Amino acid sequence: MKIYGINNYNIFNRQPNFTERPKGEKIQEMQDTCNEAFKYLGIENRAIILHGSCFPSSGPDIGVGSPYSEPAKDLIKEFKMYGFNAIQLGPSGEISSFDISPYASKVYAKNPLFIDAKKLTKPEYAEILSNETFDNITDLNRVKGQNYNQANFLEAFENMDIALEEAYTTFKQKLRDKDPAAIALNKEFSQFKEKSSDWLVKDGIFKVLSKMNGTDDFKEWENQLDADLILRLNKGDRVAVKRYNQIVNRSKDKIEKNSFTQFLIDKQIRENKEFRDENNFTYINDLLVGCSKADVWANREAFLDGYAIGCKYGGKENRPQAWDLPVLNPKRLFKQDGSLDVAGEFLKKKLLSALEYCETVRIDHAMGLVDPWIYETNSLYTSNGVVRSIKGDYISNMPHIDPDGNYRNIIEKIVLPTLEEKGVKTGDVVWEDLGDRTAVFNEIYYNKFHLPGIKQLEWDKGESAQYQDTSLISSHDSPPTRMMNLGAWDKEYLVGYLMADPAKRDEQAQFRQTINTNPLELIKAKFVDLFRSSKNIQMSFADFFAIDKRYNVPGEMNNTNWKLRMNNHYMDTYYKNLSSENPTAPNIPELLAKAVQAKVDMAVAKKNDKNPQEANELRERLNNEARPLISHLQELAALLKKPEPVEELDLVA
């Protein structure tokens, strides 16, 4: 019999190809042209917001995505083709089954769920995982008829535990058998343990004690000595030393297995970094304002007991938000001589850890590094998810907590010097300044250091963005663009900003009518606004792939937060959307063509305000200069809208 399929696709394993996507030389042509347009627009850093667990798979996986897998490399190439040069990750630290939020992750220990288990079956990993076990713990995870997937954290934890148990056992056996590949792997392992010695064993001990007590909240542990173990150990307490050695000796194999797990993820992160360096592609790590309970347990002197970071507004009924994030102890940030004390050292190491394998960072909740709103943990009372009673204030209003105003010096004495030490420019950092701001914060952050921020165009306008700001429409914490209240957008601003040339009055009228009556065209205009904003832009993966699901609803406990994920056939889904009658996914070259023309029109409009005669000359010159680029972008945009010819495939019935 004959059926109709798509050329170069195994129709039993792949979704069909729907559009005449770039192939061969067209891939480089698309990339070069989009890059040229972004350069013309002055946009240097173009990132997709995509947290680690949201990455896709090209086949079986354990239940969550990984930014360090082989499919991640394929995805990077796809984003590069459209001119994007970065991915904004979430925090990369290890999470627990007690709390899957990446913003409750560890500072030093990386997330083992991001280990690409398939690689463990390969010779370069001494084949420490069998193909049979890999097949048993993985699933193709197909989702039919949807342009998204859902991560399964519950299964992922179980699957990875099985994989890592076998991998570690096999590794030890192969070492005993003097297997050359295992010996080579062990050499790398030894080097990792040496460089990570200040936190690695303590992390293993914490896991042992958490399992023993059934919780990672050390304040609920039955044995107070275990809860205070590292605190007392640092003070030379002999009882603590004895208990520490007892745990290490009794649980040596469990601690070593945890160290080996951390080595494996570290190795894969390094390998991914090498690939990204070769491809000139950036990962932006997320420097979470808080940290895990494991980090507090191991660094008790660095934190303020009895207090947590929250937010004065923005919770349900606009009540305070109780984030339950630890507060660095202001009195232990700096020593009398100005050098870093234990809290300052912890923050510096935290930033260095975030930058170890990523080229830059996102500073989560910058207010938290200047003037956080903190509350007494024993004062919190909630009802139906609403904070009904809480005792808190900004730390600048609490001289008994921060008598020397040390929090005001964190950016100057810790953050900026550390960035400089790592060669990271402040203008390439994503500074998250959204939300509540105090006079103290404004004075230090904006007036003293002139630091950039985030312009979220759901509420802001692209023209208001400063050059080094980061502009975006939706983020990991907001609904995707199509789920926003489009009626609240200022359409007259879009008309005036994106079609500013006074000679285009007829086109302006048509544009006004279009965006007032067609929501899809309004969203297109907003993306053009994004491309006309600042040096740094970001687009959420939900927007890129036109997904109508939220990744996270801040301040809300539900069973869908943090689980949204790309499907396995993400580019087929994308191209199918683009070639449909009413595409909702962004056609990047089309948007860039409009943005380039909008920049030309704005330059003409500004000149016209001063000298109409010179404006006519400028109009002709700039349009002539931009026309080849705009035409090329329009040709590529048309290519993406064009359905691909379907070829006959002969199959034996």
SS3 per-residue string spanning 587-638: CHHHHHHHHHHHHHHHHHHHHHHHCHHHHHHHHHHHHHHHHHHHHHHHHHHH
Residue that has been written with the tokens 């050359």 in this structure? 180
Q: What is the dihedral of CA 619, 621, 624, 629, to 10 degrees?
A: -90
Closest-CA residue to 541 (of 480, 611, 606):
480
Instruction: Residue 380: count other Cβ atoms within 10 Å of its Cβ.
Output: 18
Confidence grade of residue 2 (pLDDT, cut at 50, 70, 90): very low
- Residue 633: partners with Cβ closer than 8 Å, 6 or more residues away: 33, 34, 37, 589, 590, 592, 593, 596
Question: Which residue bears the tokens 């305000």?
Answer: 609
What confidence tens digit (pLDDT) does each residue in 217-247 have? 999 999 999 999 999 999 999 999 999 999 9
Given pLDDT bands bounded at 50, 70 and 90, which one contains residue 628?
very high
Structure confidence by residue, pLDDT tens digits, 188-205 = 999 999 999 999 999 999
Task: Read off the pLDDT of residues 458-495 as tens digits, 9 standing for 90 and up.
Answer: 999 999 999 999 999 999 999 999 999 999 999 999 99
pLDDT tens-digit map of 4-43: 333 333 333 344 444 568 999 999 999 999 999 999 999 9
353: amino acid identity, one letter: S
Cα-based distances in Å from 328 to 72, 253, 300, 301 = 35, 33, 10, 9
pLDDT of residue 15: 44
- Using CB atoms within 10 Å of the CB of residue 565, give its burial: 0 to 12 exposed, 13 to 18 middle, 19+ buried: buried
DSSP classification of residue 209: H
pTM of the model: 0.94
pLDDT value at residue 141 = 63
Across the chain, mean pLDDT equals 93
Cβ-in-10-Å burial (0-12, 13-18, 19+) of 575 comes to: buried
Rg, Å, the chain Cα set: 27
Task: Please state the rounded mean pLDDT for residues 332-351.
Answer: 98
Q: Which two tokens stand for residue 597?
A: 């023309």
Q: How far is CA 242 from the centre of its chain?
A: 42
Q: State the DSSP code for 96.
A: B
